[in-house]
Amino acid sequence: MTLKGRLQKVEEALDANKKFLLWLDHAKAVGGFVSYWERELKGPLVPFKWLGDEEAYFLWRLVNDVNIAILNDAQTNHDLRRVLHCALDGVLRQITQPDESGRLVPVLPAPEVTKLVGEFLYGQFKTIFEEALSLAGAIDELSQTYLGGEDLLFVDTRRELVEQISQLRTTAQLLPPLAAWLNLEPLMMEGFVSGHPKVDTKATQMADFSRATALAQSGDGRQFKDALQQLSPELAVSS
């Protein structure tokens, strides 16, 4: 390819990315992610020409994949949090009793069955809580890396994620006494930002998934297998 041809290709890619950002601004102006797609699906779907650019299509996939994931997991996450909150509260009440002032104090030693159930439920909640915080941190990291700080999420999906984390924090605030009495590792409530291993791993997984999906749909088999290798070496070997 000549120098002129390479420059033209770079200019086309830059133009496609600008058009993607204009699309994102337009889509967010509608309101929420659901509102935007409800409106779009009512009329004829006309593909954007800039989706033919590999990087612009990847960004479009990334935005849609992340927002859809938040909405798809919302009800399950709320239900799990409620179940664990009630169960952990029940365990807490079994290993404590109110003192003269009404403050809950531990009843030692805790019954063995109650201790085992408490350890299991605490571990399950810890996993869910850290996953949610890692997801939020990963979305912020991806927003900074690929969109220069522009939020990947729409107003409704951002609100949903904030609500989920707020509810999880409410449950988490009940648990320090339980962790201390059962000699469990305290919950980490802060620090899930870019640079945290779980945040960085989550961000990489999300980006690799969207890139692999974009390449699969673009018909580039070699690049798809390379992206799949990044996402999961086992999947790449089996393919």
What is the C-alpha separation between 55 and 52, in angstroms, rounded?
Answer: 9
Q: What is the per-residue pLDDT across 190-229, written as a single tens digit (0 to 9) for each?
A: 999 999 999 999 999 999 999 988 888 765 545 545 544 5
Is residue 95 exposed (0-12), middle (13-18) or buried (19+ Cβ within 10 Å)?
buried
Q: Cα separation of 214 and 233, whole Å?
A: 18
Using the structure block, give the residue that is written with the tokens 């393919």: 239
Contacts of 147 (CB under 8 A, 6+ apart): 21, 24, 59
Judge if pTM exceeds 0.85.
Answer: no
CB atoms within 10 A of CB 221: 11
231 against 185, higher pLDDT: 185
Q: Predicted confidence band at 4 (pLDDT cuts at 50, 70, 90)?
A: very low
Q: Which helix (H) or strand (E) holds 105?
A: strand 104-106
Token pair 């120098």 is found at: 3
Distance CA 108, CA 96 (A): 8
Which pLDDT score is estimated for 166?
Answer: 93
| pLDDT tens readout for residues 149-166 | 999 999 999 999 999 999
Using CA atoms, how far apart are residues 134 and 163, in angstroms rounded to an integer? 15
On the question of pLDDT at 230 being above 90, the answer is no
